Each structure stands twice: as structure tokens, then as C-alpha cells.
Structure 1
Amino acid sequence: MNNTKATAKIFHKPNQAFEDFETNIPNPAADEIVVKITYTTICTSDLHTYYGRRNSPSPSILGHEIIGKIAKLGDSITSDYNGQPIGEGDLITWSVYAFSPENPMAKIGIPQKSPDLFKYGHQSILNGSPLSGGFATHCLLRGGSSVFKISNKLVPGEAAPLNCTHATIAGALRLAGDINGKNVLVFGAGMLGLSACSMSREIGAKNVYTIDINNDRLKNATSFGATETFSASLSDLDIENKLNNEKIDVVIDTTGNPKAMESGINLLSLGGIAIWVGAVYNAPKTQINAETVVRKIISIKGLHNYTPTDLGTAINFLASCHHKYPFKKLVGKEFPLKKLDEAFEAANSGKYYRIGINQDN
């Protein structure tokens, strides 16, 4: 491979084959980092973009669940977000966005909604961002990126989703507050749902219940901390009967399905909290009974992306629990970057939690 060139796969429009792309590997500015990407997983949101379920800038390099090794380090960077020293060759992950800490949104605690946000895997390469996504050999991290050094002991397939799946759930549980000794109901047993199950158990949830339409995924959820699972075909009354008088304190919806979100509100107990993280693309309107919300004193909180601190929480979770929960088995297949079209076909089949793009060579 030419050590001065980076290659990538370019997304132009839905259902069109990715285009091969080559550009020079840049020299980073003082506050930038050039990363040699080692592994990227195909997120569900990548599928939503590629198959036309949501709009995204193009031409672009998709992919944001990324890990990689520092190839070139800007002169002003000596440590990661936690203050750990970093240097060339270190394995890192980073928040899916770069932002200015001086932005008003950052100052009120929601940096992910800064108007000047730069999102990896969601930028047009025509706007001075030729290396900004995961389906490439290299990525240029801009100033304002929250970078974290991670352990080489993590299997690449389990580490790559850290800056999306696990960080999002860490943010959801932050919004839920103290769940020690409480009952949590998770809608959806995909990657987000499994992460919600295991992370909830690790921070002290009494019971974690999971609902999904897929029976195979429900069976798998028990390996990730689910106390009991329910089929989405059951009515709310059926589920209440199966709970054996256990109340639901927190609902986490990872599906974005209006019926699931409505069901979650119905199943919450007095003073319950609903956290919605799955509704990130167009869907039918959710019909909520306002009287139910008022009389049961229910709180509904939404989360889109997360804060850098949430990513730090997710990294600590996976570092301490990756032997306990089989996240490394959730990557069903791996492909080289040159076979990205085949990888997307496999990911869209619905057979796998994640497909990996392995470049660690």
C-alpha cells in the first residue's frame, strides 16, 4: 500500500454502488489527529442512509463506529479526553462529532446539538472533509474531537461500536437517573437493546425486561443480562400479568416504533421515566394519552447522540465487563474495505447484529 495515500469508499445516493476514492494522507494541524483505521462496524443508521430511509450529505464517506491507531499527532495534543498520554501507534476511539466547547449548546450540556457540529460519517467530502468517515483507510480528526485511548485487550468487533451504541445507552441511563434496585423495561433487543440490558444490570437494576418481535434475539438477550423477555405480540395487559406485580420504573425504547413507545408509557408505573433513543428517522406519529402522562406523573426524555462523558462511561463499562457479556460475538461477518458493497448487503439482511470492516493489517 502507498504510505502517502488514503483510500475510501464514497456514498453518492441510495442503493448505488460505492465509488473507489483516493486522496493524499494529510499532515494534521496542531489540534488534529490522523488515524489509521483498523476496524469499522456498519451501524443501523448507515443502513438507513444507504437504503434511502433517511437523508444524509453526499458524496460522503459513511461509517462512524470506528477504532484506529494514531498515525500522525498534532503538535498541541499530548493526552486524551481523560488526561491519559497518547502518541503514535495508540489505539483510540472518539465521539461521533467534533464541537467547540465555547458553543452555547455545549455550555448548557448538550454539545451534540451545537450548530457548528462536525459529524464523522455524515459529512460531504466536497466541504474540505475528504477523510471524515469509517469506510476508509484513514480518518482526520478535527480539533474539538473527544478522543479516548482504549485497551488493545478489547476485540476490535466489540470495541468499534463503543462510540455509538454503548455511548448512546450510557447517555440514556444518565438521563434515567439512579436505577439501583429499580425495574427497567427495554424495547428492542438489537445492539442498543442488548447494551441497555447489560449496562442496566451492571449499575444495579433489580430486573431488566426485554421486548422484541424476534424470538431469536429475545433468547440471546438473556446472555446480556435480561431477567425475562416478552414477545412484542403480547398485549400490554398480558405483559402486566407476566410481571407478577413488579412495577416498571424505567422504559428505554431503542426501536423508534410508535407502538412500542406508546406501550412503554402504558406500562410505566407512577413516577416512571421513559427514555427514547430509537426514533431517529421518519415514522408514523406516536399517539400518547396525555391524561396517562399527567395522572401517572411520567417523564419522557429523548436522547440524540450523547456527551463525551457518556462515551467515557461506555468505555469503562466495556473494559470491565467485556468478558462477562458476549459482545464480541455480535459481529456476524467481517469483510475487507474493498468488499463494502457485499458487506452492506449482508448487514441489510437482518441476520446479524453487526458486520465488521476489518483493516488491521
Structure 2
Amino acid sequence: MRNLNVQSSTLKIDRNEDLAHAMVFTGPNTPFELKDSFLPILQEEEVLVKIEYTTICTSDLHTYFGRRTSPMPSILGHEIMGTIEAIGSGGKRDYSGKLLTIGDRITWMVYAFDPCCDNAQKGYPQKSENLYKYGHQKISENDMLNGGFASHCHLKKGTELFLLSNEISNPIAAPINCTHATISGVIRISAKNPVNKTCLVVGAGMLGLSACAQLKTLGASKIIVMDIDASRLTYAKKFGATHAVLLDQSTGKITVGAEHFQDIDLAIETSGNPKTIELTLSGLAIGGVLTLVGSIFKQDDISINAENIVRNLLTIRGLHNYIPEDLKNAIDFIEKHHSAYPFQELVGAEFQLEDLTQAFEYANRSEVFRVGITQNSNSSSFNI
């Protein structure tokens, strides 16, 4: 790559001495490639972040192991947090309007968008034209640092940034801008105040556990979790679940807890399994709301009865990604309640960035909720 000499309004970096490095995804089931690059020339409202921590999201695993398609070559990883290393001319303010400075600890939206585009004006910024998604962009010589599995991330204009409290550890902070923000968005669009309501969470993975905790803090009286793994159902009680429903994986039928599967006011479906979605609909109360969040891969059609939807006043919603308000609410939730639930436990192993291939292999075969990727060269390369 050519030598890029850059100067921001707040920090000067000698690009001959200061290189970034990244683990590049070149194809499914192919070892990541370590590549160096010069740090970018920052334009107005752009920010260069030194990445502190990234967690491997389930969608990263789907991409790496060929279960979903993604541009290549690319730098995967979008559950990221870090500290500001440089700011483009004109400065940058966070979502609340505070002027940011070098060294601020931040997270950011998983995408950059144009607030003036049609979909953003309609309230759907995550579906804006020319959306720029971190961890999902093809890299090039002029656009290299756009994912989480790297030493730095180049944040574009149109990216909302959020300050993070130093009281939140890196493993807790990294998933906020994906998992917790998504669930915050689900609760927002469901238009159903969970206070004293019966709620169902389908899937006791990372999304499901976050849903349990957020619903609990919002006053839900009954939080039912449904999954095919009995151990995960038990673990979900640490995050506020009050009842468990166990499914048989081969038949998709309830084997334990059927008595709880009724009169559901709000259902959050994170598994994406078509048969489970149909089952969930059958348990909704009059006026019940089902919000789908896990159906992000190709799948069979589902069968619904329109008369049942009409006569029982049911609502079916879908959410893909989230809006800035959702990330703000997720950060507020974690800052207030991170010690009330064992979020720290959800990162079951840590690897160094250069060991990313081994980290993905471990994450795919293990039962941990998240694997963390650290930039700390003083830590051991693998902790569990």
C-alpha cells in the first residue's frame, strides 16, 4: 500500500511509524490473514478508534462458516468498543451533543447513515440508502479499517458515537452495540408496556438473556424462556427468567413447561426457526405481540391463519438492526444494571487478535455465549 501521511485537527501521526493491522476474512472456513495498513486520512467528522475489545457475534460465525454470505475480502466484527485516537477536522460530538476528545472510551452504531435519506426520514435509518455497516464491508486500499478484528476502526461521517462509563468492563461493553441495542429496539417497536405482563423469550442465547434482563428491569411479571437446551433454560433464571419451556429438538414440540405456554402478551423470537415461530403464535393472548429478530438467514416460509390474527387482535413485527435511540437505551440499561446480572460470565473465553482463526473455531464448537478478542499483548492468548 502507498504511504499515507495524514494530519487531523487534534492529533498528528507519522504513518511511516504507525501502522494498523487487521485479520482479514478471505473466504468461508479459510484462516484469517494478518495484514498491515497505514492509518487513514481523516475527513470531517471522522474518527479513528484504537480498538480495545471485540466479541465474536453469532452472525460472524454464520459468515465465517459459510452459513450466510458477506463481501470479501473484509474485516469481520461489529461488537466493538475502544478509545479515540484521532478526530477529523471540525471535531466530533457524541449522540448527546458532547464534544469528544482524544482518549474518550466509546462504542458506536454498527452502521453509518445519511439522516437526510428517505428511509432515515421515515424512522428507519438502518435501512438507509448506501448504508455503511461495520464488519460487513469489502475492504480496499482506501477503505481498510472498517471492522472489529483489527487494531483500529475508521469511523465514517454519519456514525453515532456514545461515551462509555469506565465502570463497565470491556467484555460487558463490547456486545452493547449489537445484542443489547437490538433487544432495546425490539421492546421499543413492540408497543407493549411489559409492566405486569406475561412475556415469552424464544431462544436462551445472548439475545434471549439480554431480553430477559431488560424485561425484568421494566417490570414484566412473568418471563417465560423457551429453548431446546435445558441447561440454558436454567441459566436464564440468573437473568430474570421466571419460567422455562423445553422443546424437543427433533419434533419441535414442548416436552416440559407446557402449562406456562399460554396467555402471552409479548413474545420475542430470537431463534429464527420457522416451526418455533408458528408455535409461538399459538400461545399469544388476545392483543398479543410477536416480534421477530432471529430470522436473518434463508429459511422456509411460515404458515399463519389470518382469521386467528384478526379475531385475536394479534400483531407480528420484525426488527433488523436498530436506531440510535436503542443504543442509547441499551447503554443506560447496562450502566445501571450491569452488576445485577452476570453479564461478565457471557464471555467464556478470550483470544488475542492474531489467534482469531482458533477463536472462531472454538466459538463454533463450544457452548459459550461469546468469545472475546483482546488487544492486550500482556495477557495469555487463551483464557477459559
TM-score between the two structures when normalised by the length of structure 1: 0.96
Give the match for residue 221 of structure 2.
206
1:236-287 per-position Cα deviation (integer Å, ceiling 9, x unaligned): 69755235xx621000001001111111100001110000000001122222
Task: Please state whether the residue corresponding to 1:269 is helix, strand or coil.
Answer: strand
Conserved? CA contact 1:273–1:301, under 8 Å: yes
1:274-316 per-position Cα deviation (integer Å, ceiling 9, x unaligned): 0000000112222222222222111000000000110000000
State the superposition RMSD in angstroms: 1.7
Give the match for residue 190 of structure 1.
205
Counterpart AA for 2:357: D
Conserved? CA contact 1:236–1:267, under 8 Å: no
Larger RCO (CA under 8 A, 6+ residues apart): 1
Aligned to 1:358, which of 374, 380, 384? 374
Aligned to 1:340, which of 345, 356, 371? 356
Query: C-alpha separation between the residues in 2 aligned to 1:23 and 1:334?
Result: 25
Conserved? CA contact 2:199–2:266, under 8 Å: yes
Query: C-alpha separation between the residues in 2 aligned to 1:344 and 1:321?
Result: 29
Are 2:45 and 1:31 aligned?
A: yes
- Identity among equivalent pairs (%): 47
Conserved? CA contact 2:247–2:256, under 8 Å: no
Conserved? CA contact 1:258–1:286, under 8 Å: yes
Give the match for residue 111 of structure 1.
125
Counterpart AA for 1:257: N
Counterpart AA for 2:260: K
Query: How many residues matched?
Result: 359
Give the match for residue 327 of structure 1.
343
Give the match for residue 257 of structure 1.
273
Counterpart AA for 2:43: A
Are 2:260 and 1:242 aligned?
A: yes
1:87-115 per-position Cα deviation (integer Å, ceiling 9, x unaligned): 11111000000001101100010000012
Conserved? CA contact 2:46–2:92, under 8 Å: no
Gapped regions of structure 1 (runs ≥ 5)? none
Query: C-alpha separation between the residues in 2 aligned to 1:65 and 1:312?
Result: 15
Give the match for residue 96 of structure 1.
110
Counterpart AA for 2:311: R
Counterpart AA for 2:224: Y
Q: How does 1:247-286 map to 2 (within 5 A)?
A: 247-286=263-302
Offset at residue 350 of structure 1 (A): 3.6
Give the match for residue 76 of structure 1.
90
Query: C-alpha separation between the residues in 2 aligned to 1:237 and 1:258?
Result: 18
1:147-185 per-position Cα deviation (integer Å, ceiling 9, x unaligned): 001011111111100010000000000011222111110
Offset at residue 79 of structure 1 (A): 2.3
Distance change >3 Å, CA 283–CA 344, structure 1 → 2: same
Conserved? CA contact 1:91–1:149, under 8 Å: yes
Give the match for residue 175 of structure 2.
161
Are 2:311 and 1:295 aligned?
A: yes
Offset at residue 360 of structure 1 (A): 4.0
Give the match for residue 137 of structure 1.
151
Counterpart AA for 2:298: N
Give the match for residue 149 of structure 1.
163
Query: C-alpha separation between the residues in 2 aligned to 1:138 and 1:191?
Result: 26
Task: Please state whether the residue corresponding to 1:145 is helix, strand or coil.
Answer: coil
Conserved? CA contact 2:246–2:256, under 8 Å: no
Task: Please state whether the residue corresponding to 2:289 is helix, strand or coil.
Answer: strand
Q: How does 1:307-322 map to 2 (within 5 A)?
A: 307-322=323-338
Query: C-alpha separation between the residues in 1 aligned to 2:260 and 2:84?
Result: 51
Distance change >3 Å, CA 127–CA 303, structure 1 → 2: farther
Gapped regions of structure 2 (runs ≥ 5)? 1-15, 378-384
Conserved? CA contact 1:253–1:275, under 8 Å: yes
Query: C-alpha separation between the residues in 2 aligned to 1:322 and 1:3?
Result: 39
Task: Please state whether the residue corresponding to 2:68 is helix, strand or coil.
Answer: coil
Conserved? CA contact 1:265–1:293, under 8 Å: no
Query: C-alpha separation between the residues in 2 aligned to 1:41 and 1:77?
Result: 29
Conserved? CA contact 1:84–1:149, under 8 Å: no
